[in-house]
Amino acid sequence: MRAVVQRVTSARVTVGERTTGEIGQGLLVLVGVDQGDGPSDIQYIASKIRDLRIFQDDNDKMNRSVLDIGGAVLVVSQFTLSGDARNGRRPSFASAAPPEIARALYEDVVRELQDSGLRVATGEFKAMMQVALVNDGPVTILLDSRKNF
């Protein structure tokens, strides 16, 4: 499982003209589910998102988590995070989990974050979405439950 975590002052996801999720200060998280992902991947990604200390403390150091600041998380599914563009010019998505499996694991990540006390908004699984954000810093962190990076 992979995630792109962006510290934001605001973020919104729309499908057509309809807003499906919107937050103020917090994290925009794009999540991609790979074949073979399971409970340990969910646990790893959700705990990293919850506990990642990328918000400034009183001494201007990145030392506070989204939970510490009372921020929110906007979680958006993005199967293209499983894309492999090492060969040729067209990425392969062969390692992406099938939609029915990916949806369940994506929803488990959302539920795990909600259960930890975070306010969580979401995109719409398998929809063509538009994501608008104000990246704060900018701060962008890549996570991979298999620790490939």
Alpha-carbon distances of 37 from 12, 41, 64, 76, 148, rounded to whole Å = 27, 6, 29, 17, 14
93 counts as catalytic: no
56 counts as catalytic: no
80 counts as catalytic: yes
3-class DSSP state of 69:
helix
- The catalytically annotated residue of 19, 35, 80, 140 is 80
- The catalytically annotated residue of 6, 55, 78, 122 is 78
E strands, 16-117, are: 18-23, 26-32, 55-56, 62-64, 72-77
> Which residue, 95, 139, 105, is CA-closest to 125?
105
- The gap from C-alpha 71 to its chain's centroid, in whole angstroms, comes to 14
CA gap 50, 65 in Å, rounded: 7
Catalytic residues: 78-80
